[in-house]
Structure 1
Amino acid sequence: MLIAHLSDLHLFTECSETGETRADIAQVVESIIADLLTLNPLPDIVAISGDLADGGSDEDYQLIRHLLAPLPMPILAVPGNHDRREAMRRVLGNRLAGLEAGEFMQSRIDTHDVTLLGLDSVVEGEARGALCNTRLAWLEKQLQHTQPVTFLVLHHPPFMTGNPHWDPYSLIEGRERFMEIISGSPKRILCGHIHQPLHTYWEGHYAGIAGSPAFQYNLVPGSVSVPTACKVPYSYPLHDCQPDGSVIVHLRHVAQA
């Protein structure tokens, strides 16, 4: 079982909401999709941990749908703080695997040995993340029956990175309850949001933050500097789930102009 983890594509058609997103991001994402399609074997699932769009218009999601169209495998995607739930569901809903109905965009995919749960951690109109009682109750129910390896996909990291400029915008509300709910057995947490690749163990769970092809930061560990975008190599993680339950994480580098 091979899972490709993408995040923070920040695609836009007319206007960039962040102002930092590279103007040619559509061409960059197209090259990432092309790279995914060269893999043999192909990934079984592509997980996208939020900020698919940079402004969240219907036109943005139509562009995203067009760029993702060549991928034959299921795609699990959760919203990020730059996404707009209604437009994302309206345009991409029937393309995203396991997406459930309701106020929040939460998803579930099961294979014979892996479960992926997509959690909506968005607070509408804000950069910080939260998991309210409704979303946490959904997670608790889903975890009652899972496969041996369980991935949790959400936009906002539930742990602190140590950088005072990122951490106030991580998963703030519901973090403690989230930790309690997942404490029964080790999970694998896939996040985005901070635009810098990072891998850690948090409370016994593996956690991986994917970088962003739109713009990336390159802070030194322990730095308290204000994050600024810089030119650094881009790579996306491939999670190779082994028959014995172990998972090997490979970084797949993609050349950018």
Structure 2
Amino acid sequence: MSMTLMLIAHLSDLHLYTERSETGQAPANIRYIVEGIVSDLLGLQPQPDLVVISGDLADGGTEEDYLLIRQLLAPLTMPIMAVPGNHDRREAMRLGLGDRLTGLQEGKFLHSRVDADGVTLLGLDSVIVGQPQGALCSKRLDWLEGELRKTQPLTFLVMHHPPFMTGNPHWDAYSLIEGRERFRQIIDASPKRILCGHIHQPLHIQWGLHYGAIAGSPAFQYNLVPGSKAAPAENQVAYSYPLHHCQPDGSVLVHLRHIT
């Protein structure tokens, strides 16, 4: 298997807002933090070929929020692929960002598909309207099953809610609560790389055949202690975002890019 080198930056949980933070936790200066991330991305040499955002771009999802997001992401010259999170709003997100997001599909759900030389990325909308938990209903899983019939040798799946267990009972109850079993059956024919958000702390897992990664959040992060049963506490920890460097032989190197 021979592929072109590809560099993918994985961001998540920006929680940008203009007037009101839905969570009440996103800091007032979040727009300036995101400006710093954009500046860091532009300073990379080489720059990423693609930026992936795994949900919660907004923290409430008003039309004004997505206009702000559009403005902050405007300096990025590379394609951007994004899926919604539980604090996004589908209609406002499509209206504000639809022509800026690469591979966005038509229809009710904000699914995406991006194909490069040797790499396919499929973005899944796992949102339950009005709920923090995620779901993949039969219609969404049918779409995934159909798209997987033709993919490149290296396949990334992007979704907001993790389909795997984090080990913390608080967060696991708020992850993907519907469709997990069929999702696993559909993807198990070959290894996939699953990029998620929602948990607000970096986490990596080998899930059967599959590599799974959760990105942190520049807005606010938690400190999940392995084996702990306690509800995770918000923690002032350094923020980093991962860079997935796809190699010609099909291997992937994951680098963490730390932001002050």
1:81 to 83, 86, 89: 86
TM-fit CA distance, 1:225: 1.5
Aligned partner of 2:214: which letter?
Answer: I
Mapped to 2, the partners of 1:41 and 1:147 lie a distance apart of: 23
Q: Does residue 181 of structure 1 match 2:186? A: yes
> d(CA) in 1 for partners of 2:153 and 2:206?
19
Deviations 1:171-205 (A, max 9, x none): 11000000000011000000000101000111210
1:61 to 59, 66, 89: 66
Aligned partner of 1:213 in structure 2 is 218
Task: Give 2:46's match in structure 1, choosing from 36, 41, 44.
Answer: 41
Determine the C-alpha separation between the residues in 1 that align with 2:7 and 2:70. Answer: 22
* Displacement of 1:21: 1.0
Aligned equivalent of 1:164: 169
1:43-68 per-residue CA deviation (whole Å, 9 max, x = no partner) reads: 00000000000010000000000000
Task: Report if aligned partners of 1:20, 1:229 keep a CA contact under 8 Å in 2.
Answer: no
1:165 aligns to what SS in structure 2?
helix
Pairwise CA distance, 1:219 = 2.1
What whole-Å deviation, never above 9, does each CA across 1:132-179 have from its counterpart, x for those lacking one? 111101000100011111000000000111111100111110000000
Match of 1:227 in 2: 232
Q: Secondary structure at the match of 1:65?
A: helix
Could you list the structure 1 runs, at least 4 aligned residues long, displaced by more than 4 angstroms after superposition: none
Q: CA deviation at 1:19?
A: 0.8
Which residue in the other structure is 1:51 paired with?
56
* 1:115 and 1:149 in contact (8 A); partners too: yes
Give the TM-score taking structure 2 as reference length: 0.97
Three-state SS of the structure 2 residue aligned to 1:81 is coil
Report the secondary structure of 2:45's partner residue: coil
In structure 2, stretches of 5+ residues that fail to align are 1-5
Equivalent residue number for residue 191 of structure 1:
196
Asked if structure 2 preserves the Cα contact closer than 8 Å seen for 1:11 and 1:64, the reply is yes
Contact between 2:168 and 2:224, CA under 8 Å: does it hold in 1? no
Separation (CA, whole Å) in 2 of partners of 1:139 and 1:219: 31
Aligned to 1:24: 29
Query: Shift in Å at residue 224 of structure 1?
Result: 1.3
* Structure 2 SS opposite 1:95: coil
For the residues of structure 1 that align with 2:138 and 2:73, how far apart are their CA atoms? 32
Counterpart among 111, 115, 122 of residue 117 in structure 1:
122
In the alignment, the residues of structure 2 paired with residue 83 and residue 240 of structure 1 have an alpha-carbon distance, to the nearest angstrom, of: 28
1:150 equivalent to 2:171? Answer no
- Name the count of aligned residue pairs: 255
CA distance in 1, matches of 2:28, 2:242: 24
Aligned counterpart for 1:6 among listed residues 2, 5, 11:
11
Counterpart code for 2:106 = A
Q: Please, which runs of 5 or more residues in structure 1 have no aligned partner?
A: none
Alignment-derived partner of residue 3 in structure 2: none
> Which of 126, 130, 133 lines up with 1:128 in the alignment?
133
2: CA distance, partners of 1:93 / 1:109: 14
Matched, 1:252 2:257: yes
Between the two proteins, what is the percent identity of the paired residues?
A: 71
Matched, 1:93 2:59: no
* Alignment RMSD: 0.5
Distance in 2 (CA, whole Å) between partners of 1:219 and 1:7 is 17
